[in-house]
Amino acid sequence: MNKDRKPKLKNLPRFLRKRLIYWPLMNISRNSVIIPLIISRSKIWRLTGCQVGKNVRIGLDVYYDLDNASMIHIEDDVWIASRSLLLCHRRDMKKYFKGENYNDLPYIIKPVTLKKGCCVSMGATIMPGVTVGEGSVVGAGALVTKDVPEWAIVAGIPAKVVGYVNERSHDE
């Protein structure tokens, strides 16, 4: 065997990568206030499989779907505020009936996409299959279950369009 050959992360079994590498990285990126001084959270998200663009800002204590991290697509200039949640999976409630075990339900797995320049405010939850449009703002505590149009402002549970971002007039 070649001594110069380094072991690759992808050669480790998936469960080992999660337990030994990804979970500690997620916890560090989620909670550490020292991280901005050492390495940005977006770099740690990339290491766990998320597709993260340039100039992305991620607040403290942001949870994301680590098992499906490769299905999270974040474009350039996105802001994700503290305590937000990005999910790529949920239970298929259409297959849940009285007397059956909830834990036996299959998962629905869909990607989450945050388009260029959007903002996910504090405590917002983005559900599977959602695309937040370019320049959109998700209000604090919102539960986003459907796609958000470009330059829209959404708020509430479930999130609804409450306005749109205006174009700057030439007078300003």
Structural domain count, the chain: 1
> Which residues fall within 8 angstroms of residue 131, CB to CB, at 6 or more apart?
112, 113, 114, 115, 147, 148
93 domain-assigned: yes
pTM over 0.75: yes
158 domain-assigned: yes
Give the residues across from 74 on adjacent strands: 52, 114
For residue 92 the two structure tokens come to 């298929």
Find the angle CA(121)-CA(125)-CA(129) to the nearest 5 degrees.
120
Closest CA to 58 of 36, 78, 37, 80: 80
25 domain-assigned: no
pLDDT computed for residue 139 by the predictor: 96
Cα–Cα dist 21/15, whole Å:
10
130 domain-assigned: yes
22 domain-assigned: no
Q: Are 136 and 159 in contact (CB under 8 A)?
A: no
Write out the chain's pLDDT in tens, 172 residues: 455 555 555 666 665 566 566 666 666 555 555 555 335 788 888 888 899 999 999 988 889 988 899 999 999 999 999 999 999 999 988 888 999 888 888 999 999 999 999 999 999 999 999 999 999 999 999 999 999 999 999 999 999 999 999 988 877 6
15 domain-assigned: no
39 domain-assigned: no
Q: Are 99 and 79 in contact (CB under 8 A)?
A: no
137 domain-assigned: yes
pLDDT computed for residue 37 by the predictor: 38
For residue 84 the two structure tokens come to 């937000």
pLDDT computed for residue 169 by the predictor: 82
User: 130 is in which domain, residue-wise?
Assistant: 51-164
pLDDT computed for residue 43 by the predictor: 85
Q: Are 41 and 58 in contact (CB under 8 A)?
A: yes
Cα–Cα dist 126/84, whole Å:
8
CATH number of the domain that 137 lies in?
A: 2.160.10.10
Question: CA distances (Å), 157 to each of 91, 105, 141, 154, in order?
Answer: 19, 24, 8, 10
